[in-house]
Amino acid sequence: MEQRRLGESGVVVSSICLGTMTFGAQADEQESFRIMDRATEAGVDFFDAAEIYPVPPSAEWAGRTEEIVGRWMKSRARESVILATKVAGPAHGWFNPPARAPKAAVDGVHLRKALEGSLRRLQTDYVDLYQVHWPDPGMRPEDLLETLDAFVREGKVRVLGISNENAWGLMKALWAADKEGFRRFDTIQNNFSLNNRRFEDELAEVCRREKVSCLPYSPIGGGVLSGKYNDGARPEGARFSDYLDHPGARQRAMAERFVNERSLESTRRFMKIAEEAGLHPVTLAVAWSKQHDFVGSTIIGVSCVEQLDPILAAAEVILEPAVLEAIDGVSREIRYPMG
């Protein structure tokens, strides 16, 4: 499998990354082990976790995914897998922004406790990529970066990343890091798929110019691009089946960001393009994602090992210009209310 560098760091990873947010919920520990075994056999050496996983997050489940990955790693050489995880972010109460503090006082912030918790659950003394899951736009980036930089200097983290950030937020963090001499973000993990191309509006250019690698999540559009929600289907166990008819407005709104009239129409058209190209629609979606020059590694997630086959097939696929043009034609015709 092709290997790619994360930003301008020394960390090189497989072009497909195994996301783990289903581990401990949709996939039990035994199935999670099977998924990780199959992925590594195919050449995937990059795993992405988070302290709040599995999804949907809950106080009872938080950290379960990291624990499963940690137990699986016990029988393997630590350096054989590039481990990424994420600190939740202000929406989940991990950080009470302190006043600008001297380095000696950084130990007291909640961010350090979060990292120590992840290291303990993953059963390792360092993570290769540590990411901020949700940014805090009201906080000075220097306060966050000083602590993260300390983690790198201490050898607990190799590379830093941000997730769910916009172009302004990423640039502000990069400027602050350069000004203060802190370690930069080498990656940004955002939603990017055939059904959500907003990353290309501004962030793609930031990544190109600033040498930051995009790590797309939901490249299959939350499963929509597989076609499983077509014609009003609600497949059992699927991510949004329950949420689409959920009485809670928040859950329903989340599902409808991915499953809506426009996304289903574009999915039908993309499936036709895939058929004409002799590809599984999931293979088409993942191959399209990893073919962008600003993408470091495309993050995929599954709930059973069988779902890996069409995903892993994309590792060797390079889409022809005619296929890319057909995809762009659909994107021009259908604009998505997603982001």
What are the pLDDT digits (tens) for 303-324?
A: 999 999 999 999 999 999 999 9
CA proximity to 9, closest of 257, 215, 271, 205: 215
pLDDT value of residue 338: 39
Asked if residue 100 has pLDDT above 60, the reply is: no
229 is catalytic: no
The pLDDT, as a whole number, for residue 98 is 36
Q: What percent of the chain has pLDDT over 70?
A: 88
Note the pTM of the prediction, 2 decimals: 0.91
- Residues pairing with 14 in the sheet: 3
The string of pLDDT tens digits covering residues 48-86 is: 999 989 877 666 778 899 999 999 999 999 999 999 999
* Distance from C-alpha of 152 to C-alpha of 158, rounded to nearest angstrom: 6
CATH number of 3-189: 3.20.20.100
Cβ–Cβ < 8 Å for 132, 84: no
* Residue spans per domain, the chain: 3-189
Rg, Å, the chain Cα set:
19
Mean pLDDT of the chain: 89
Burial of 199 (0-12, 13-18, 19+ CB in 10 A): buried
Give 253-291 pLDDT, tens digit per residue: 777 778 788 889 999 999 999 999 999 999 999 999 999
One of 53, 130, 217, 229 is an active-site residue; which one?
Answer: 53
pLDDT of 99 strictly over 90: no
More confident position, 106 or 30: 30
Q: Exposed e or buried b for every residue in 244-256, given b needs 16+ CB within 10 A?
A: beeeeeebeebbb
Stronger pLDDT, 3 or 249, i.e. the higher one: 3
Query: Is residue 247 very low, low, confident or very high in pLDDT (cuts 50, 70, 90)?
Result: low
pLDDT value, residue 107: 35
